[in-house]
A and B are shown apart, each in its own frame.
Chain A
């Protein structure tokens, strides 16, 4: 599924995240989950945000749609079709959610209402946004489910607790795609699924995504999955984006030391772990956040580096490092 789209500046950015900061007030202190996030998602593009667990990537996904809990504070802009999503009220957001931008969560079995029939849950966006009468919505939902091969094996009168994790995952995807949104945000879609199942689900997802012409914002810690599926990759570490570029380039020519180290962790490259441990998000290191664990560090790195644009043939390339 390797894709090589021409330079992404051909297409206008569909979603533009500008200097987004997300922090949480907890009893242990203020957790700075995401800092200075600047991302662009173009039409028909798949952008993957990769990073280790807890680096803040899921937070971005929820923040875009204002789905974070009440102790979160979000700053910055997320411009979608000319409007800043972060400044909209709940009613306006409710219009956009599910219809223009859809999101699927990490835990499929818990994300579905256990005592509501699966077909009803898939039909719900049709009833809410398009005001379809119930029987019509449900028959459309059943069509959608059968496209995900949930037609005969799992009859539409079934409940989530009767289906496996993978099936529930497909139900969630069906629910999010049914209104043909412009952007789909997938938060760790492969979590909890075994490799082959994950690949299968992603294939189905990519197929439908192409059909309706949507963009995909993929959040994952699975590097290989990201490489297979996405056009562009953004690497996150400790709440910051440290490198971004086309997926081919990131893998062939990683620039940031963290990206290099991350690739070294892969089985193919020898399973070499990164020394040290993940830093605290409440008290992150001074300057470059990777400084304590970086092999190529300089004294200069005690000052926070800025994002620098680097020359590339394959679209925009950026890296946050003093080495460049």
Chain B
């Protein structure tokens, strides 16, 4: 039983509850991951098979069917695959680009730093979704292209964080002495800077997946997604544009929407836990 206490310093933030909640996040995240990998086993039917359309949830089809008669639950499970792949792909690309740029900027300082940070600032200001909309309108993209586009826009926050860490490590005593001993930049980067980055980059990577997923679903909602791949966003799009909303078939769009929300929530929980753990470790140093 916890009472409202008036001493801000006597109430430790989060603590055990926080950890429990993060574990729930981890569990949810892994479940989605498993669902994506083992879609064919978990899903009751092939999402492309057609049955009677517009069926409400019932015994045969737990989540009902869409306008083409396809089983919504199967769509949902297979959809996890699409959404996750796009999310991971974009996040991987964003993190790679971001880390490289941040590393170069922080480690080499000077002119390289100025230019790279200037580029980063500019990219930060470009509104991402409108740009993707414009480009996607021209290109009629497959979902790989969408992942590519998102990855090339999202690297900025990773770049900033990596840059400050690289700056920090660069100034450390043992790195300076290595430099004076003649070790090449490349060697130092690989042996000293990179290992320290992994802990820092991991929460950023996870949060990038979350952002990418929301962005992809938003793009798909507008109808710009890849119609051959049924992501969760596309499902909501179909629900909205093909009579699911007007006729009140809320299960059609609630299910994918909830999936997106819960998945992103799980990532946020894990990510913020990792970040706080990072900070407390840095604080104790």
A positions within 8 Å CB-CB of B = 27, 69-71, 89-91
Alpha-carbon gap, A70 to B284, bound state (A): 16
Not counting A89-B6, A90-B6, A91-B6, a sample of 8 additional A-B residue pairs whose C-beta atoms are within 8 angstroms of each other reads A27-B284, A69-B9, A70-B9, A70-B10, A70-B11, A70-B12, A71-B12, A90-B7
Cα A69 to Cα B12 in complex, Å, equals 10
Residues of B within 8 A of A71 (CB): 12
A22 to B: closest C-beta gap in Å: 15
Query: Interface SS of chain B: helix, strand, loop or mixed?
Result: loop
B82 CB, nearest partner CB in chain A, Å: 44
CB within 8 Å of A: which residues of B? 6-7, 9-12, 284
Closest-by-CB residue of B relative to A94 is: B6
Contacts of A69 in B (CB 8 A): 9
Nearest chain A CB to B126's CB is how many angstroms away? 32
Judged by DSSP, the binding face of A is loop
Docked pose: A172 CA to B119 CA in angstroms: 45
Give the CA-CA distance A70 to B8 in the complex, in Å: 9
Query: In this complex, what residue of A is CB-closest to B11?
Result: A70
Cα distance, A70 to B7, chains bound together (Å):
9
Which of chain A's residues have a CB closer than 8 A to the CB of B6? 89-91
What is the bound-complex CA distance between A115 and B10, given in angstroms? 26
Q: Which residue of B lies closest to A27 (CB)?
A: B284
B contact residues around A70 at 8 Å (CB): 9-12
The distance from the CB of B281 to the nearest CB of chain A, in whole angstroms, is 10
Q: Across the two chains, which residue of chain B brings its CB closest to A69?
A: B9
Distance from B239 Cβ to chain A, minimum over Cβ atoms (Å): 49
Q: How far is the CB of A128 from chain B (nearest CB, A)?
A: 15
Chain B nearest CB from A68 CB (Å) reads 8
Q: Which residue of A lies closest to B13 (CB)?
A: A70
Q: Which residue of A lies closest to B6 (CB)?
A: A90
Report chain B residues within 8 Å CB of A91: 6
Closest B residue to A66 by CB, please name it: B7
Distance A90 CA – B6 CA, assembled complex (angstroms): 7
Q: How far is the CA of A70 from the CA of B12 in the complex (A)?
A: 7
A89 to chain B: which residues have CB within 8 Å?
Answer: 6
Q: Which A residues are in CB contact (< 8 Å) with B9?
A: 69-70
Distance between Cα atoms of A55 and B89 in the complex (Å): 55
